[in-house]
Structure 1
Amino acid sequence: MGLADADVAAALLGLAEPHGSFVAVKSLATGRYVYASPGLDDLFERTESSIVGSLDTDLMRSDEVQAMRRVEQAAMAQRSVVVSEHRLELAGRRREFSVTRAALGSEFVMALWAERTEERHRESHLQRALAQIEQQQKAIEQLRRELQAGSGRDDVSGLYLRAQFDDQLLREIDLSTREHREFALVLIALDPLPAAAQSLGAEAQQRLLEGLGRMLRANTRAMDAACRVGEHHFAVLLSGVGLATAHARMEQLRKQCTAQIVVLNGHDLGLSLSMGVASFPHTASKQDELLHASEAAVHEAQRRGGNQVVLASIPFGT
């Protein structure tokens, strides 16, 4: 391949420069640049002359040159596109770049430079913030466990257990029957972990259970009851609340949970819930039927892909 072909290819890729990327073409025979976008001249502080004709040793430290050379050799040997990350000391400041290389025949290698310095700084700040949140959440959960030790609550979520829920449900049915009023039953299921977090295993599930426990404790009234009724299932009794109001409250809770940051090992796990809302006596007037209706609604929410609230169907008698 001749130099004219390299010029054509470089000119085409030079269109990338307005988007913050720069193109260079280097001769493998001489090690000198035969083409460089104007942005690379600014990058290497060549204000009076271009880097064309320069060697990497004219522009970088020896360790940086060696790293560049290794990747160029890999691109030529593999005859495929190779992407690498490089850190360069330029004007006393460390800057980070993603460089995409491809062979141009057997004589030239082309490189597309994209600066990632600010992006990496943002990522670093985010990781530090997530680490701080994770430490705070661990401290909160440890303090909560110490305060509620021996209280009969679930150790992970801090909520009442299934036995207390069954008792509270019977009392709520009795009270609502005598006073001719409504109440709502909400069943909640944790949605599966996103693929990126599945490798974190049981500890990730525990963090999500702790996070959901915090959200339910903060978003239920004293007259309500929030309980853990299964490994990944929760129930909320909303006293004196009808179906429409219960749906609105649970939709608000779902959105808050989606926005909640639950961190493990620097990863935001994402708190996603499926909810089924039933009411007494409109959905059902018996305990078993009410539970079955809310369970069916949860299953429907999961069938639709999760992260949503579904109302139980209301039967119409003849």
Structure 2
Amino acid sequence: MAIVLPYFLAGLLLGCLLVGLAAARVLRRWHQAAADLESQLRSHSFELQIALDELTEANRQLEIQTQIDALSGVYNRAYFDRQLTAELKRSRREQRTVALVLLDIDHFKQINDNHGHLVGDQAIKQVAQLIRQHVKRPADKVFRYGGEEFALILPNTSLAGAVQLAERIRQQLTATCINTADDTLTLSLSAGCYAAIPAKDSDNDEFIAFADKALYRAKAAGRDQVHSYPAPVAAVAVAAAAVTGEINEH
């Protein structure tokens, strides 16, 4: 028995060593597999992040497209409604004046009837571009309100300031020839302005109705002019511009 014991112990140690080596080999494989899996996960996570970034950008572009009028390149009517609601809430909260301007190209139906709808479309594009050139503050926004009509939302702007801006646009358009594929047109526009600190019950309809009343007055008075609601502001602002020879920035 004493003779066998050393062999037994040696065999036991050898067996333990072999088992340990096998276990170490398995453990190394597990570590390698875990490292490979971690690497794959990192790779997939990176690819997933790229996909998410691309999806976010695609959604942003889609959102922008849903806000923009395809013909004129300015914001569309649906975005106008949302933006006016947001600005009224912000102005009410901050107790600041917000102005709304409605601008309508005069006798636009005659352009379509006499020159065709393609020429009418070109006129809308160029008028939109001209209006955008005068709207310089980041918070101010230009919208195609419908057909040949445009709208401006001007946060933190007085009624006199809105009238002055509309008058600058009107004067510039009157002095500008609109080049189309077949002809050169001289256009004019009428504008209606309204501005106030929104009351608790003020809404989009109220601001639009008052600006529209001013626009109707401008058309009824012969077109190619700017009116406001209340009416006296337009006369005062335009008269001041005539005296100074220029319209100041609002």
TM-score range, shorter chain: 0.5 to 0.7
**Structure 1 residue aligned with 2:185, among 262, 269, 277?**
269
Q: Could you say if the C-alpha distance between residues 240 and 201 of structure 1 is closer, same or farther in structure 2, counting changes exceeding 3 Å?
A: same
Q: Which residue of 1 aligns with 2:70?
A: 155
Q: TM-score, normalised by structure 2?
A: 0.61
Is the 8 Å Cα contact of residues 134 and 165 (structure 2) preserved in structure 1? Answer: no
Q: Which residue of 1 aligns with 2:102?
A: 187
Q: Which residue of 1 aligns with 2:155?
A: 239
Q: Could you say if the C-alpha distance between residues 259 and 157 of structure 1 is closer, same or farther in structure 2, counting changes exceeding 3 Å?
A: same
1:219 positional shift: 1.5
Is the 8 Å Cα contact of residues 112 and 120 (structure 2) preserved in structure 1? Answer: no
Return 5+ residue gaps in structure 2 as ranges.
1-60, 232-250
Is the 8 Å Cα contact of residues 192 and 213 (structure 2) preserved in structure 1? Answer: yes
Residues paired across the two proteins, number: 167
Q: Quick check: 1:174 aligned with 2:66?
A: no
Q: Displaced runs of 4+ in structure 1, greater than 4 A?
A: 193-198
Return 5+ residue gaps in structure 1 as ranges.
1-147
Give 1 or 2: higher strand fraction.
1
The amino acid that maps onto 1:207 is: Q
Tell me: higher relative CO, structure 1 or 2? Use CA pairs within 8 A at least 6 residues apart. Answer: 2
| Alignment map for 1:10-89 (pairs within 5 Å) | none
Give 1 or 2: higher helix fraction.
2
Q: Which residue of 2 aligns with 1:250?
A: 166
Give a deviation string over 1:4-56, Cα, whole Å, max 9, x none. xxxxxxxxxxxxxxxxxxxxxxxxxxxxxxxxxxxxxxxxxxxxxxxxxxxxx
Is the 8 Å Cα contact of residues 209 and 232 (structure 1) preserved in structure 2? Answer: yes
Q: What is the alpha-carbon distance in structure 2 between the residues aligned to residue 240 and residue 166 of structure 1?
A: 18
Q: Which residue of 2 aligns with 1:297?
A: 214
Is the 8 Å Cα contact of residues 275 and 310 (structure 1) preserved in structure 2? Answer: yes
Is the 8 Å Cα contact of residues 101 and 151 (structure 2) preserved in structure 1? Answer: yes
Larger Rg: 2
1:299 positional shift: 1.2
Q: Which residue of 1 aligns with 2:122?
A: 207
Q: TM-score, normalised by structure 1?
A: 0.48
Give a deviation string over 1:103-129, Cα, whole Å, max 9, x none. xxxxxxxxxxxxxxxxxxxxxxxxxxx
Percent identity among equivalent residues? 31
1:203 positional shift: 1.8
Is the 8 Å Cα contact of residues 88 and 198 (structure 2) preserved in structure 1? Answer: no
The amino acid that maps onto 2:143 is: C
Q: Which residue of 2 aligns with 1:307?
A: 224
